[in-house]
Amino acid sequence: MAEQKEPKKSSRVADCEPSGEGFRVIGVPRRRVDGRAKVTGQTRFADDIFLPRMAHCKLLRSPHPHARIRKIDVSRALAHPGVYLVLTGKDLPISYGILPVSQDEQALCLDHVRHVGDPVAAVVAREELTAFEALDLIDIDYEILPTISDPEEALATPEPRIHEYGEEGNIHKQVALEFGNVERGFAEADEIFEDTFFYQGNTHLPIEQHASVAIKDPDGKLTIWSSTQTPHYLHRALAKVLEMPAAHIRVIATPNGGGFGGKSDPFNHEIVVAKAAMRLDRPVKICLTREEVFYCHRGRHPVLMRFKTGVKKDGTITGVHLQTLIDGGAYGSYGVASTYYAGALQTTTYHIPRYRYEGCRTFTNKPPCGPKRGHGTPQPRFGQEVQLDKIAEKLRSDPAELRLRIVEAPNTVTANFLRLGTVNLSECIQRVVKSSDWKNRFRKLPEGRGVGLACSAYLTGAGLPIYWNKMPHSGVQLKFDRGGGVSIFCGATEIGQGSDDVLAGIVAEVLGIDPFDIRLFTGDTDLGPVDLGSYSSRVTLMAGNAALEAAERGKALLAEAVALKLEVPKERLRFAEKRVFDSAARDKSVSFAEAICLAEARFGTIGTVGSYTPPKSPALYKGGGVGPSPTYSYSAAVVEVAVNPVTGWVHVPKVWIAHDIGKALNPTLVRGQVEGSVYMGLGEALMEEQEFRRLPRRLSHALVHKFPSMLEYKSPTSLDMPEVITELIEDPDPRGPFGAKEVGQGPLLPIMPAVANAVYDAVGVRIDEVPITPEKVMKALAEKEAGREPRFGPNHFPDINWPEALQVPPPWEGGDGKAVNDPYREKPRPTKDKVLAP
């Protein structure tokens, strides 16, 4: 596609400018509103809560990766002094799960354990140590079952089934979608490229271990504080499993000490302490050990991928066929959505006229995989961007120039019916090419040094909620105080990304006050309206738009009352510097506090609400619920590497990254999100991996984590972090508050393929899998030395019996967003068939 620059549109920005003098809060780098609490250690995380009479909970976890529970005897544990309560699966038999289609978890396993670390019993005692001691006194008789360690084994081993649901055997979910005849696309191509890639699983590793405290309120209701990113979904899960009215449950998401997606599922330990608190009528706390955090997991799915891409001589793509084999671990978690996501966003960066996607997620006896930063999309993006590097080389084209020729146009509806917003990917590429001096360095650096380029796109919030409903995705209430303060009530969850600051910044800008004049009550299901949670990069756009609406409504009330008092038309009033004044005669003014009093005298108590519901998506086919977003962010990165040919060690001295943010609400925090993404991307690219091994036969032969500790699970330290040159492309998107798009996840995505491409530039070997460890580099160098294909990576993709693909003609072939071979094409689909996306 030709580069096509969208004319800079005025966004919602223009309506809110206080006085035509630009913004006072938005776009100004400043201290976040919760900054002081964080640097004084006063931010109250879940484990910082200590309550009178508080008991402590510990979970007994399965030492076996796969077994039946024949018998559990808790009598010795119960008799242990200081033990108050022992719970087993029978006490919490109702299953739950984050997705309506995968209600496959039990808080404590009833009769079947599916991975090492699956909880089977809970002890609540006066002291944490006592609870820990009592775990040893629980007697369990297990019948060991065969273990399934990876997806290929799962395909070959339909029995025993890890779950009694799914497609068949141990296949959890299969997806087959075709948007236009991809074979015809290949027939039109000048060159066909086929590559296989593997992306290893890795985990979030938040520094805060998950913790929860539950109490039975004096009136008999339940309150739980928890390190969760999704208090609303936890609220629903608790109501279901505890069989309590949701109105009697209050979930308070404490600020998370890092989330990255790992605290987005309702967790067994949360349900267990809630049950225990209700049973014992006293506060119950649990704080997981680091090892247990590894068992919670829900991290990056390991994915084997096959990419077949047809291109014209100039690089124009004629068709893409992607197949994925996804290692889901022991439970569904977000996996159905992850399976769709692994194919959904390939069409958002470059123009792909015909696209076929087949994905298969299997169950294995490992901790469940789920959403980690970039949910489901970093793996195929890695394959796509590395393959594009190979394509550019074969076509003798500069990889940056090739990409610039095929970048998708703004406001396009893609082959799979995703409606794009602003697209400034070309600008991103041009910026990093310039700042990195790409043209003088690519293929021109001395042996052992290299640069690589890659791009990506990401959602600015999932277009659909996790459970089917037509209600807003985010709501905000404002309360105006006579003293000039404003309180914000919203379900949005602070996980470090700055969601509180986004809300305060937007409201302060509209009302012309200081963000520090605002009090925030967030992440509390009793106090604030629902926000679906801190996932899918949705908070800035969705909660932000809700806050904007609530603030505008409040401003209108205040303006009406002040206009009467000052005897000026309300349209002439401006709100800035804690005053409301006549823009034509600035000395005619009242203070913001007076304005509230005037409004309260006229209208009664002042409170306003705002809410946000994403636009309807044109993707109407089954599975079309995953991928739509109000708009998408874009990133391009150049990574420089120095590869030591003797050790295989890959050192990254510098990264250049440009991110299409729309508008940076607080540039200090935006930069932090970009650099944090680069950091996490380098970890995934070079060292982080969730690996397993079998214990020797003479022991249990169990499949256990290789690295259930922070010491052995390698993550980058301060010594590993390169210099990062961050550039923000600000082209306000009319769909975002003040034009803002997401930044929390997108900038991670180009890093891994850029590293792989840079390694090739440095030493001429392709590492077609992550992490790119020294061993793999050495093996590839040895292949090169021996005159064989200079590559390390998977060489085959198993035969999978794919279902018939849903045929959805793309928009340019007259498609209407529905599948032509869908039996439900002309009639409404039963609700349970709707695939809902996080």
Partner 1 sequence: MATFPIESQKTAQIRFTLNGEEVDLSFAPYKTLLEVLREDLGHTGTKHGCELGECGACAVLLDGKPVLSCLVLALECSGKAVLTVEGLSGDGRLHPLQDAFADCGAAQCGYCTPGILVTAKALLDANPHPSRDQIREALSGNLCRCTGYLQVFEAVEAAMIKIAEETKAAHGKSSATSLNRF
Which residues in this chain contact partner 1 in the complex, by CB under 8 A?
31-32, 34-45, 47-48, 50, 81-82, 127, 129-130, 133, 204-209, 255-260, 289-290, 495-498, 668-669, 671-672, 675-680, 709-711, 715, 717-719, 721, 723-724
Residue number, 247 or 711, with CB nearest to partner 1: 711
Q: How far is the CB of 289 from partner 1 (least distance, A)?
A: 7
Q: How many residues does the chain have?
A: 838
Structure tokens at 633: 């962010």
Residue number, 230 or 497, with CB nearest to partner 1: 497
Give CA–CA dist 226/274, Å, rounded: 10
Q: Which residue, 227, 214, 212, is CA-closest to 277?
A: 214
The helices-and-strands tally (H runs, E runs) of the chain is 20, 32
Give CA–CA dist 770/198, Å, rounded: 7
Give the DSSP letter string of 9-39: ---THHHH-SSSS--SSTT-----TTHHHHH
Give CA–CA dist 44/745, Å, rounded: 25
Read off φ and ψ for residue 783, nearest 5 degrees: -60, -45
Residue number, 171 or 687, with CB nearest to partner 1: 687
Give CA–CA dist 509/12, Å, rounded: 13
Residue number, 374 or 472, with CB nearest to partner 1: 374
Q: How far is the CB of 498 from partner 1 (least distance, A)?
A: 7
Instruction: Assess contact for 139 and 76: CB atoms under 8 A.
Output: yes
Q: How far is the CB of 492 from partner 1 (least distance, A)?
A: 15
Residue number, 593 or 751, with CB nearest to partner 1: 751
Q: How far is the CB of 79 from partner 1 (least distance, A)?
A: 9
Q: How far is the CB of 379 from partner 1 (least distance, A)?
A: 20
CA 347 to mean position of chain CA atoms? 19
Instruction: Assess contact for 517 and 578: CB atoms under 8 A.
Output: yes
Residue number, 133 or 524, with CB nearest to partner 1: 133
* β-sheet bridge partners, residue 194: 308
Residue number, 35 or 793, with CB nearest to partner 1: 35
Give CA–CA dist 674/669, Å, rounded: 9
Instruction: Assess contact for 130 and 80: CB atoms under 8 A.
Output: yes
Residue number, 680 or 755, with CB nearest to partner 1: 680
Residue number, 127 or 785, with CB nearest to partner 1: 127
Residue number, 153 or 675, with CB nearest to partner 1: 675
Instruction: Assess contact for 709 and 673: CB atoms under 8 A.
Output: no
Q: Which residue, 689, 660, 632, 254, is CA-closest to 421?
A: 632
Residue number, 69 or 655, with CB nearest to partner 1: 655
Residue number, 244 or 710, with CB nearest to partner 1: 710
Q: How far is the CB of 312 from partner 1 (least distance, A)?
A: 39
Q: Which residue, 674, 507, 672, is CA-closest to 592?
A: 507
Residue number, 100 or 722, with CB nearest to partner 1: 722
Q: How far is the CB of 769 from partner 1 (least distance, A)?
A: 23
Residue number, 467 or 707, with CB nearest to partner 1: 707
Give CA–CA dist 273/458, Å, rounded: 36
Give CA–CA dist 288/57, Å, rounded: 9
Q: How far is the CB of 499 from partner 1 (least distance, A)?
A: 11
Instruction: Assess contact for 792 and 776: CB atoms under 8 A.
Output: yes
Q: How far is the CB of 751 from partner 1 (least distance, A)?
A: 11
Give CA–CA dist 338/370, Å, rounded: 7
Q: How far is the CB of 311 from partner 1 (least distance, A)?
A: 35
DSSP 419: B
Q: How far is the CB of 723 from partner 1 (least distance, A)?
A: 8
Residue number, 654 or 829, with CB nearest to partner 1: 654
Residue found by looking up tokens 């994403």 in the block: 614
Residue number, 44 or 313, with CB nearest to partner 1: 44
Give CA–CA dist 585/572, Å, rounded: 9
Residue found by looking up tokens 């040159």 in the block: 725
Q: How far is the CB of 806 from partner 1 (least distance, A)?
A: 39
Structure tokens at 461: 């919030």
Q: How far is the CB of 747 from partner 1 (least distance, A)?
A: 10
Q: Which residue, 495, 502, 595, 580, is CA-closest to 546?
A: 502
Give CA–CA dist 327/299, Å, rounded: 11
Give the DSSP letter string of 600-654: HHHHSS-EEEEEE-PPPPS--STTTTSS--S-EEEEEEEEEEEE-TTT--EEEEE
Residue found by looking up tokens 């309120």 in the block: 217
Residue number, 32 or 321, with CB nearest to partner 1: 32
Q: How far is the CB of 477 from partner 1 (least distance, A)?
A: 25
Q: How far is the CB of 257 from partner 1 (least distance, A)?
A: 3
Q: How far is the CB of 682 from partner 1 (least distance, A)?
A: 9
Q: How far is the CB of 285 from partner 1 (least distance, A)?
A: 11
End-to-end CA distance of the chain: 30
CA 717 to mean position of chain CA atoms? 23
- Residue 234's H or E segment, with its range, is helix 231-242
Query: Any residues with CB less than 8 A from the CB of 135 and at least 6 apart, and which?
Result: 58, 59, 60, 77, 121, 123
Instruction: Assess contact for 334 and 533: CB atoms under 8 A.
Output: no
Residue number, 716 or 811, with CB nearest to partner 1: 716
Q: How far is the CB of 516 from partner 1 (least distance, A)?
A: 12
Structure tokens at 345: 């966003």
Give CA–CA dist 106/87, Å, rounded: 12
Q: Give CA separation, 655 vs 74, 223, 716, in Å.
A: 55, 45, 15
